[in-house]
């Protein structure tokens, strides 16, 4: 019997990362900006997508992948808007992984400009999994409280933009928007911040413009 020490130095999520990179190059080469939406359950990801569809759909074809532990209710809601949507039910898993997205790629229409991936509602685990997105957004609904960026730093640290949702509830809550924004920017100074209300429609057009701009930047970067 011989003892042997083997230096491996491999990332445990290396295979997820490799699949994610392939997805990103394929979608970006096809002119698709992919957005991964992270939030706790009930922060309003699906409602935000319904509103975004109203603004984007006429000139910017989009598709949606919904991740949930059970049911295809969210995909149904999106389809009612006339948007192609796929439901991934994880059957208990707390996050989506790149291989789940890769399996759906052949079904995604070639003419879309935006692919939104609504992750499983959870501010912890989804932050560790690259899904091949070009842009990562974290949502924080006002009723959750203004202390969340420091409590769940990784979700905020790995995002490109922060979307406050349910802004219409502001008058009824002790939510300190300045504190939440300040603490989020301490965790990640590069975050773009939006304040939205899916009920009243506030901030949705601005957010849609940001996605359109980011897609233009992506296309320019690829052709540079």
Name the site residues for another protein (rule: CB under 8 A).
Answer: 1-16, 93-95, 97, 124-125, 127-129, 150, 153-154, 157, 185-189
Q: Are 196 and 189 in contact (CB under 8 A)?
A: no
In the complex with another protein, the residue whose CB is nearer, 21 or 109, is 21
Residue 41 Cβ, how far from another protein at the closest point, in Å? 14
In the complex with another protein, the residue whose CB is nearer, 95 or 214, is 95
Q: Are 116 and 35 in contact (CB under 8 A)?
A: yes
In the complex with another protein, the residue whose CB is nearer, 13 or 105, is 13
For 24, the token pair is 């990103």
CA distances from 206 to 97, 168, 188, 212 (A): 30, 16, 21, 10
Residue 184 Cβ, how far from another protein at the closest point, in Å? 11
For 210, the token pair is 């940001």
Residue 113 Cβ, how far from another protein at the closest point, in Å? 31
Residue 80 Cβ, how far from another protein at the closest point, in Å? 31
For 90, the token pair is 């994880």
In the complex with another protein, the residue whose CB is nearer, 92 or 171, is 92
Residue 8 Cβ, how far from another protein at the closest point, in Å? 5
In the complex with another protein, the residue whose CB is nearer, 15 or 54, is 15
Sign, CA torsion 186/187/193/196:
negative
Give me Rg for the CA atoms of the chain: 18
């Amino acid at each position: 019997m011989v003892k042997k020490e083997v230096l491996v130095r491999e990332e445990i999520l290396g295979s997820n990362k490799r699949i994610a990179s392939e997805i990103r190059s394929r979608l970006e080469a096809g002119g698709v900006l992919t957005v991964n939406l992270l939030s706790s359950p009930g922060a309003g990801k699906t409602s935000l997508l319904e509103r975004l569809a109203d603004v984007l759909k006429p000139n910017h074809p989009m598709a949606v992948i919904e991740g949930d532990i059970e049911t295809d209710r969210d995909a149904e809601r999106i389809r009612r808007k006339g948007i192609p949507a796929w439901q991934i039910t994880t059957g208990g898993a707390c996050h989506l992984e790149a291989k789940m997205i890769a399996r759906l790629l052949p079904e995604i229409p070639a003419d879309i400009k935006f692919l939104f991936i609504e992750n499983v509602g959870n501010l912890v685990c989804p932050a560790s999994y690259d899904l091949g997105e070009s842009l990562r957004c974290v949502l924080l609904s006002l009723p959750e409280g203004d202390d969340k960026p420091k409590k769940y730093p990784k979700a905020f640290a790995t995002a490109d933009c922060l979307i406050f949702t349910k802004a219409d509830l502001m008058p009824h809550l002790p939510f300190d928007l300045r504190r939440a924004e300040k603490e989020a920017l301490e965790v990640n100074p590069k975050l773009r911040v939006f304040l939205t209300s899916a009920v009243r429609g506030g901030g949705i057009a601005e957010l849609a413009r940001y996605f359109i701009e980011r897609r233009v930047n992506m296309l320019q970067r690829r052709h540079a």
